[in-house]
Amino acid sequence: MIAPSILSADFARLAEEAAAVAGSDWLHVDVMDAHFVPNLTLGLPVVQSLLKATDIPLDCHLMIDNPGRWAPPYAEAGAHNVTFHAEATDDPIAVARDIRAAGAKAGLSVKPGTPIEPYLEILKEFDTLLVMSVEPGFGGQSFMAEVLSKARAVRKLVDSGELTLLVEIDGGINTDTVEAAAEAGVDCFVAGSAVYGASDPAEAVRALRAQAASASPHLTLAH
Active site residue 170: yes
Measured CA to CA, the distance from residue 163 to residue 1 in angstroms comes to 19
x-or-dash pattern for ligand DX5, window 130-149, by CB under 6 A?
----x-xxxxxx--------
30 touches ligand DX5 by CB under 6 A: yes
At closest approach, how far in Å is the CB of 220 from ligand DX5?
Answer: 25
Q: What are residue 108's DSSP bridge partners? A: 84, 129
85 touches ligand DX5 by CB under 6 A: no
Nearest by Cα to 15 from 47, 38, 42, 62: 47
Binding site for Zn ion (CB under 5 A): 30, 61, 170
Residue 62 binding target from ligand DX5, Zn ion, none, CB below 5 to 8 Å by type: none
Q: Which is nearer to ligand DX5, 62 or 75 (CB)?
A: 62
Task: State residue 159 phi and psi, 5-degree precision.
Answer: -65, -30
Nearest residue to Zn ion, scored by beta-carbon proximity: 61
Active site residue 200: no
Nearest by Cα to 82 from 69, 66, 98, 99: 99
15-41 burial: b if 16+ Cβ within 10 Å, else e? eebbebbeebbbbbbbbbbeebbeeeb
Measured CA to CA, the distance from residue 103 to residue 61 in angstroms comes to 16
At closest approach, how far in Å is the CB of 117 from ligand DX5?
Answer: 23
**Binders of ligand DX5 in range 151-170 (CB under 6 A):** 170
Span near ligand DX5 by CB under 6 A; candidates 16-24, 72-80, 187-195, 202-210: 187-195
Catalytic positions are 30, 170
